[in-house]
Structure 1
Amino acid sequence: MTDPAPETPADPVSAWRRLAGAAVLLDGFHALKHAVRFGAGIRLALTADRAGALALADELAGDVRDTLAELLIEVPHETYAALVPRPHPTAVAALAVRPSRADNLQELARTPRTAPVVVLDDPRNLGNAGAVIRLAAGFGATGVVTTGTLDPWHPTVVRGGAGLHFATAVERLTVEELPPGPVFALDPEGEDIRSLKLPDDALLAFGSERSGLSAELRARADHLVALPMRPQVSSYNLATSVAMTLYHWSATGGAPHAS
């Protein structure tokens, strides 16, 4: 399905309010930059400082500078601030089309996979989920799946992901709906990750910040894996655990080298 074309309305405020309910909110210049780089369908992009945003583009995002110049509509700062929950220091906000569930499911189920899928089992912290999506995109993971009630496209998660939801497949599924592949679940009682090579088609599963892996996910696991940790330290932050695991996968030959 082709994404709708961006709007250039005579009344951008009314257009924003009309579109906002069904769109993904991108907070800040960097979120918009990443979304554009990875092909997001941008419906409307506003800024209270167009010159400043384009100066940032000249410095940090020359590859999408012309596209941003076409998209960005300047409005007074008071108007911008009234349209977003929390104004960003770059005074940029945009509305994008959320990728379809069907497209995400197709990408997650595609085989053979060349990079793992990260599974967050009933996560509770929105900021942690956003940080994980940003990490997964950086490592080139196939996608990030959440189970449980947390919506991985919640505005706070998207803010934490810095627009990189559009660089990987992000979807909420049940354990029964997980894509194919061997499940390597992180657990303190598991085998030391340093003794393992994680396959490219792995599902890397991480329990919730408070209660760890659910019984349902544990039963689905093919391997329990432990991160190195000194005695009397109870746990790592969720995003830290994901980063360590993806780094291990990449360092043992899984990730393509940057060109």
Structure 2
Amino acid sequence: MSDEIAGRWRRLADETVLLDGFHALKHALRFGADVRSAVAADRGAALGLARELAPDLVETVDALLVEVGPEGLATLVSRPHPTGVAALATPAPREPAPGAPVVVLDQPRHLGNVGAVIRLAAGMDAGGVLTVGTVDPWHPNVLRAAAGLHYATAVTRRDSAASLPGDRPLYALDPAGVDIRRLRIPDDAMLAFGSERGGLSAEVRGRAEVLVSLPMRAGVSSYNLAT
């Protein structure tokens, strides 16, 4: 790997987010990400993945990828992905799309779980995912777990429940709430989930218009979501 490639990567790192692995790069490109740099331990192998898994992106990936070798990749990324691909892209937080439900994660802690929620929300064509608290939803570990699907939906952070959108009804998941099977939730609702151990914060609970409960078999203590 040349010093020029390494230097450019390090300069871009401060203003971009890491797309760790081929799948993250694939999804980011499909949903319009501004990919500033992309590298591979083995360019031929990465293009083989593109031909197999993303034939629509072969030309784009071919134009972007620079081979840096396994050692070069290890100097750029602390924990190289098994696919041997990494990229840097401009983050793109945006406001949730109207007319579709929004997931609110209240004080999440587990970065992998946040990424899993974003991945599911993108697949379900939700309006977006908002996190309340200090966790950065664009953290590399979140992006890795979400497989780069941040670019397929709105993903942004709010400091507090008070800064959540005021034009959407807030339905908060809580064991004391109304059984979700008895409700019709509006298309533009926000659905707030607390942590597995702590549940909803008092702030989000107090802001909610409706408390909603999920059916759960006796003897099961909790569902794993945003712990």
| TM-score normalised by structure 2 residue count | 0.94
Query: Which residue does the alignment assign to 2:116?
Result: 131
User: Pick from 60, 65, 68: which aligns with 2:53?
Assistant: 60
Q: CA deviation at 1:115?
A: 1.1
Query: Which residue does the alignment assign to 1:93?
Result: 86
Conserved? CA contact 1:44–1:94, under 8 Å? yes
Give distance in 2, aligned partners of 1:53 and 1:117: 35
Do structure 1's residue 160 and structure 2's residue 153 form an aligned pair?
Answer: no
| TM-score normalised by structure 1 residue count | 0.83
User: Pick from 13, 16, 20: which aligns with 2:6?
Assistant: 13
Give distance in 2, aligned partners of 1:197 and 1:58: 43
Conserved? CA contact 1:25–1:95, under 8 Å? yes
Give distance in 2, aligned partners of 1:26 and 1:160: 10
Conserved? CA contact 1:124–1:209, under 8 Å? no
Q: CA deviation at 1:197?
A: 2.1
Equivalent AA in structure 2 for residue 26 of structure 1: L
Root-mean-square deviation (CA), in Å? 1.6
Equivalent AA in structure 2 for residue 201 of structure 1: D
Query: Which residue does the alignment assign to 2:154?
Result: 169
Task: Tell me the SS of whatever aligns to 2:198.
Answer: coil
Equivalent AA in structure 2 for residue 175 of structure 1: A
User: Pick from 180, 187, 196: which aligns with 2:183?
Assistant: 196
User: Pick from 192, 196, 204: which aligns with 1:217?
Assistant: 204
Query: Which residue does the alignment assign to 2:17?
Result: 24
Q: CA deviation at 1:11?
A: 2.0
Task: Tell me the SS of whatever aligns to 1:151.
Answer: coil
Moved over 2 A (4+): none
Task: Tell me the SS of whatever aligns to 1:12.
Answer: helix
Write the deviation string for residues 12-41 of structure 1: whole angstroms up to 9, x where unpaired: 111101111221000000000000000000
Unaligned runs of 5+ in 2: none
Query: Which residue does the alignment assign to 1:43?
Result: 36
Unaligned runs of 5+ in 1: 1-8, 242-259
Q: CA deviation at 1:10?
A: 8.3
Q: CA deviation at 1:193?
A: 1.0
